[in-house]
Amino acid sequence: MFKKILIANRGEIALRVIRACREMGIQSVAVYSEADRESMHVRMADEAYCIGPAPAKQSYLNSEALLTAARISQAEAVHPGYGFLSENADFAEACAKNGIVFIGPSASAIRKLGYKSTAKALAREAGVPVVPGTQGLVDEHFMKEAQAVGFPVMVKAASGGGGKGLRLVRDPKDLEAQLKLAQSEAQAAFGDGSVYIEKFIERPRHVEIQIASDNFGNAVAFPERDCTVQRRHQKLIEESPSPKVTPEIRAKMQEAARKLALAAKYSNVGTVEFLLGPDGNFYFIEVNTRLQVEHPVTESVTGLDLVNTQIRLAAGEKLPFDQARASEIHFHSIEHRINAEDPDNNFAPSPGKISEVVFPGGCGVRLDTHIYSGYTVPSFYDSLIAKLIVFSSNRDSAVKRSLRALSELQTPGIKTTRDFHKKVLSHQDFLSGDFDTSFVEKYFLPNSKH
C-alpha cells in the first residue's frame, strides 16, 4: 500500500480524499493556488504546497507544477479527484513516466473511453446499445449524415463534457450554423473542435452506472444513479435508486456497463452514462473515466467506500467485493449540489465571504464541503461549495429528510442554490418521479411556462 498520496485538486473533493487516506494510514499531500491558501483542504493535509497563481491554467491544470510537488514531497501516487486533469491521458502518462502511480485508469483506457466517439465505437463493438448517430467525426458530408440519422439531432463535442460544444438541431436549415457554434465552443473549452452527430432522444432520463474493475479481470457495476434533474446539461440533484428503473432494466444496464469496462481493459472506478427513454430502452452516451461528483450517492446506498476502493485498486489489489455485494441496495439516497450562485439572477456566480456557517446534521445526513465560518469563496473556480447527501429507507422519507436538512444549512454572506433545491423537491412532478431532463428548464428557469 502507498505511504503518501498527493491530491491534485482542491475543495471538497480534496478533503474527501484526505479523509480516506487518513483512515487508511496514508499521509496526504495537498496542493493549492494562491487563491486557495486558506482553504480547508490545505489545513487538513499532512503537507501542502503552493503550485501557482489563482488561474487554474497556472496552478491546478499545470501538470509540471503538480509533478514537481509530488517529487518534492516524495508522494508515491497522485489522486486527481474530478475535473481539472482527472481525465487527461497525457497527465496520467506523465505520472507513469515519473514513477508516480495515477489513481485512475491507464492513459490508454482514458483515450479509449474518455473520447466520446471512440468510446461509442467500442460500446458498439461490445454489444452495448448506443444512440443512433454518425460512425465517426463529422466532415463535409454532415447534412447527408444528419439526414441519415434523422432530425432532431444533437451535435456533440468529441471530447470534454459539462454541456460544452452541445447543440440541439430540430430543423435541417439550422444545422450548419449550429455545427459551427458547437465546433467553436468545443475548441475554446477543450482545445479540440471535433464534433459528431447523434439522434435526439425525446423526454429522456439521464441514468448512470458506477463501475469498478481491477487488473485481474474482475469488474462490477453498482446500482444506478438518476441524474435527470439538470440545468443546461449540468447535474443538480442525483438519486439512487431511480424512480423509473425497474430491476430488469437495472440488471441490463449493469451488464452493459460491465461489458464495456472489460472490453476496454479498464481498471479503477468510472461511470458509464446512459439515456433512458420513456419506453424503457436505454442508450450509451459516454464514460467518465474518474470519480464522479455524485459518488457519495452510491456509497450511501451500498455502504461501500469508493475512494478507498480507488486507492486499493491503484495499489494493485483485487476488487474487495463481488457483483452481488456491489448490487446491494440498502437505502434511498439523494444528493444536492449546493452552488454559490443566485438562482434569482439567472444563476450568476456569488463569490464572497461567508460570515457564519450552520451545517445540517442528524440521522441519514452527510455534508461534503470545504467551507467554514469566515471562508471566502473565490471567483476563479467551479461554484460548488457543498454536497448535501441524505439517505433513508425509501424515497418519500429521503425527500422529507432532504427538505429538513436543506432548511438547516445556513451560509450568510453569499447566495446559494439551497432554496432552489427545496422548490424542486416540492414540485409534484419530482414527487411523482415523472420527469425528464427538460424538467428544470420547463418549470424553473426564466421565461419558462409553469
| pLDDT tens string 74-89 | 999 999 999 999 999 9
366 is catalytic: no
Closest to 443 in 3D by CA, of 368, 50, 430, 432:
430
Q: Please give the pLDDT value at position 188.
A: 84
DSSP 380: S
pLDDT value at position 158?
Answer: 84
pLDDT in tens, 281-301: 999 999 999 999 999 999 999
Identify the pLDDT of residue 115: 82
Q: What would the 3-class secondary structure string for 96-130 be?
A: HHCCCEECCCCHHHHHHHHCHHHHHHHHHHCCCCE
pLDDT at position 450: 47
The candidate with the shortest Cα–Cα distance to 85, out of 63, 111, 112, is 63
In this prediction, residue 118 carries a pLDDT of 87
Q: Are residues 254 and 227 part of one domain?
A: yes
The span from the CA of 264 to the CA of 159, in Å, is 17
Q: Residue 339 domain-assigned?
A: yes
The answer to the question of residue 112 being in a domain is no
pLDDT at 275: 96
- Whether residue 22 lies inside any domain: the answer is yes
Q: What domain range includes position 9? A: 4-103
Q: What is the pLDDT of residue 448?
A: 55
The residues pairing with 307 across neighbouring beta strands, listed in sequence order, are none
Which residues have C-beta within 8 Å of that of residue 91, sequence separation ≥ 6?
Answer: 63, 66, 80, 85, 102
pLDDT at 160: 67
Does residue 159 sit in the same domain as residue 283? no
338 and 239 inside one domain: yes
Q: Which of 231, 258, 290, 418 is catalytic?
A: 290
Cα–Cα distance list, 293 to 23, 192, 271, 372, 413 (Å): 21, 24, 11, 20, 25
Last residue of a domain, one of 175, 199, 223: 199
CATH code, domain carrying 141:
3.30.1490.20
Query: What pLDDT is attached to residue 133?
Result: 86
378, part of any domain = yes
Q: List the end-to-end C-alpha distance of the chain, in Å, as a whole number.
A: 55
Per-10-residue mean pLDDT for the chain, 450 residues long? 98 98 98 97 98 96 98 98 95 97 96 86 94 79 90 87 84 93 87 88 96 97 98 94 98 98 96 96 95 98 98 98 98 98 94 97 98 96 97 98 98 98 98 96 74
Do 252 and 146 fall into the same domain? Answer: no
Distance (Å, whole) CA 99 – CA 77:
9
SS3 per residue for 279-346: CCCEEEEEEECCCCCCHHHHHHHHCCCHHHHHHHHHCCCCCCCCHHHHCCCCCEEEEEEEECEEHHHC
Q: What is the Cα–Cα distance from 220 to 170, expressed in whole angstroms? A: 38
Q: Which of 184, 199, 214 is the last residue of a domain?
A: 199
Q: Are residues 225 and 180 in the same domain?
A: no
pLDDT confidence of residue 117: 78
According to the model, what pLDDT value does residue 20 have? Answer: 98
Cα Rg of the chain, angstroms: 21
Please state whether beta strands 234-240 and 332-339 pair in parallel, antiparallel, or not at all (unpaired): antiparallel
Domain count, the chain: 3
